[in-house]
Amino acid sequence: MAQVLEALLERNREWSAQIRAESPDYFDGLAEQQSPEFLWIGCSDSRVPANVISGLAPGEVFVHRNVANVVHSSDMNLLSVLEFAVDTLKVRQIIVCGHYGCGGVRAATEEDMPHGLADHWLEPIRRLAKRHAHELARIEDDEMRRDRLAELNVLESVARVAETPILRRAWAKGEFPLLHGLIYGIRDGVLRNLDCTISGADAR
């Protein structure tokens, strides 16, 4: 186990040295301040790193991730990140991003398989599946049905973020951010816009 950690630290040292060789002032610039354009609310899945798939550099995106990118109105972690991003960092864009092939969405649809605490966390997705049962039942392929549920989960999460007092206050002042919903395809690496952008004008 110690060898695994040491290998990780060695990769970090190599990465740091390479960055400093290419751009000697790189880390000085990062250390000065944090002023990202984006807040990213995404899934914890290790295959969906926000900076990498969006092509954004460190410092350009503030990130919150959880299992299946669920937005719970009582999640103090997410709400603290959202409040800091909007009130202090003054982000201008908020992205809720799900992905196809999401293990959390799959788990939410497996009624006969216990997943421990994850079952409580994923309860909003199960409710969402019941609410859209008629639409989902028309999709014969299991994977395509789950992928559609992943899209619906993003749309629902966007709506929940828009309802928070944090965004309502910012929008009442005529401030940003814009709120978007995206879905990522693990098989092709492409981000897709779900065309559910909400602005302060839409919320009035």
Report phi then psi at 159, rounded to 5: -60, -40
Please give the pLDDT value at position 116.
86
Percent above pLDDT 90 for the chain: 77
Please give the pLDDT value at position 93.
96
Q: Lowest-confidence range among 65-69, 76-80, 112-116?
A: 112-116
Please give the pLDDT value at position 81.
98
pLDDT, averaged across the chain: 93
How far is 197 from 155, CA to CA, in rounded Å? Answer: 10
**45 carries an active-site annotation:** yes
**25 carries an active-site annotation:** no
Of the two residues 162 and 33, the one the predictor is more confident about is 162
Q: How confident is the model at residue 204 (pLDDT cuts 50, 70, 90)?
A: low
- Interval 143-147 mean pLDDT: 97
Q: What does the block give as tokens for 153?
A: 């989960």
**65 carries an active-site annotation:** no
Q: Per the residue annotation, which of 45, 97, 147, 196 is the catalytic one?
A: 45
- Interval 3-21 mean pLDDT: 91
**195 carries an active-site annotation:** no
Helix, strand, or coil (residue 186): coil
Q: Per the residue annotation, which of 64, 99, 145, 148 is the catalytic one?
A: 99
**148 carries an active-site annotation:** no
With a cut of 90, say whether residue 34 has pLDDT above it.
Answer: no
Q: Per the residue annotation, which of 64, 97, 102, 106 is the catalytic one?
A: 102
Q: Per the residue annotation, which of 11, 20, 47, 168 is the catalytic one?
A: 47
Strand 178-185 to strand 61-66: parallel, antiparallel, or no bridges (unpaired)? unpaired
pTM listed for this prediction: 0.90
Contacting residues for 65 by C-beta, under 8 A, at least 6 apart: 40, 41, 42, 43, 44, 50
Angle between helices 165-172 and 76-83 (to 10 degrees): 20
For tokens 């798939």, name the residue: 53
**Burial category of 76 from C-beta neighbours within 10 Å (exposed 0-12, middle 13-18, buried 19 and up):** exposed
